[in-house]
Amino acid sequence: MKTTFDYLYDTYHQDVYQYIFYLVKNHQAAEDLIQETYIKVLKSHQHFRGESSEKTWLFSIARHTVMDFFRKQQREKNKWFGLFNKEDDWLTVQSTAPLPEEILVLSEEQQLLYAQLDKLTLDQKNVIILRFIQAMSIHDTARILEWTESKVKTTQHRAIKKLQQLMGDNEKG
């Protein structure tokens, strides 16, 4: 098990951690979630059949782990704040955690862009992180998200348009 862990950690850890972090924007939560991801991966690594690349398989497990986390969070929230949220509301995740060091040193404009990511739906955020921050291809992004490639393209287009509008609004404001 240690050998498999070492291999996965050395090969993919930084990328998977970064993906999870940009989704949840909280180090503590990201650490818990990557730990959970490794547990799932180590339990099923022997069953990995190589139908997708190991990297997309790992990211896919991480994505499901994060989605479960958001769903649990939403259920907790619903207990206290009600269930009125329309279908898309819960898919928008707002972060309240302090900015990480890597972001604090950025220009004001880049910090704003980082903050505006929270205003995207979770699907849009997933596409933006995978395509631009992780620099993944449309094909790999589609495999991780279990979507068609055309859906990735459409979601990416809408996300960029929304970010453009949000950044524009902020400049005007």
Residues that bind other proteins (CB under 8 A): 1-2, 5, 9, 13-14, 17-18, 21-22, 27, 30-31, 34-35, 38-39, 42-43, 64, 67, 70-71, 74-75, 78-79, 81-84, 86-88, 90-91, 100, 102-103, 106, 109-110, 113-114, 121, 123-124, 128, 132-133, 135, 146-148, 151, 155, 158, 160-161, 163-164, 167-168
Closer CB to other proteins, 9 or 52, in the complex:
9
Instruction: Give the nearest distance from C-beta 84 to other proteins in angstroms.
Output: 5
Which tokens go with 39?
């547990």
Alpha helices by DSSP H, listed for the chain, are 2-24, 27-44, 54-81, 101-104, 108-116, 122-128, 138-145, 149-172
| Separation CA 89–CA 103 (nearest Å) | 26
On the 0-12 / 13-18 / 19+ scale of CB atoms within 10 A, 89 is exposed
Closer CB to other proteins, 54 or 166, in the complex:
166
89 and 70 Cβ atoms separated by less than 8 Å: no
Instruction: Give the nearest distance from C-beta 50 to other proteins in angstroms.
Output: 21
